A = this chain, B = another copy of it.
Amino acid sequence: MPTPSTRDLILDSAQSLAQTRGFNAFSYADIALELGVRKASIHYHFPSKQDLEAELLERYRSQFMAGLASLDSNGDSSVVVLQRYAHLYSSTLKNGRICLGGMMASDIGALPETLAPSLSSFFEEQVSWLVKVMNEGKENNELNFSGTVQSHASVFLAALQGGLLMANAMNDQALFERLAETLIAELQ
């Protein structure tokens, strides 16, 4: 594992701050303090905060999709794959974070409009992946539900996003675990 570049360290710090406080509640000064560099150095890598935010979402999206690809690479059952998916969200909760996509969605009214398309794509890719997994589950008779797969995929994602918000605000990790379990049981 090579030493992370300053650029990556900045993104890591910014992502942590964005997931815990929100996009409009952290500053270059916060990152500078955490990394022990000057604000001007951050502006060298990301001239404007909008540049930083855009890169933040893009990196998160690509890393998240790469993670999804590895979730269903084996021949595991759809139920197990969905459990692993839910665990991706659950694990962010342990650090007092919520999904970066969900956070950005809540801040969308105060962010540059140029970020909206990327954010929409993030959600659409999640739903598409869930649709694929649920379709496979139906074909294998591991999943069984009425209504369109698309609708159930949207509900699944929305419930996890909202569940993260609630569990984090109430400081109740068990709430999220029960919620995810119920969601998956409902599809069987």
**Contact surface of A with B, Cβ cutoff 8 Å:** 20-22, 24-25, 96, 98, 102-110, 116, 119-120, 123-124, 145-148, 151-152, 154-155, 157-163, 165-166, 168-171, 175, 178-179, 181-183, 185-186
Contact = CB atoms under 8 A, between A and B. Distances in A.
A165 B106 contact: yes
B25 A169 contact: no
A161 B165 contact: yes
A105 B163 contact: no
A178 to B, nearest CB: 5
Contacts of A109: 20-22, 25, 96
A177 to B, nearest CB: 11
A164 to B, nearest CB: 8
A101 to B, nearest CB: 8
30 contacts: A22-B110, A98-B106, A102-B162, A104-B169, A105-B165, A105-B166, A105-B168, A108-B168, A120-B169, A120-B171, A123-B166, A148-B182, A151-B179, A151-B181, A151-B182, A152-B182, A154-B163, A154-B182, A155-B159, A155-B163, A155-B179, A155-B182, A155-B183, A157-B166, A158-B158, A158-B161, A158-B163, A158-B179, A161-B161, A161-B165
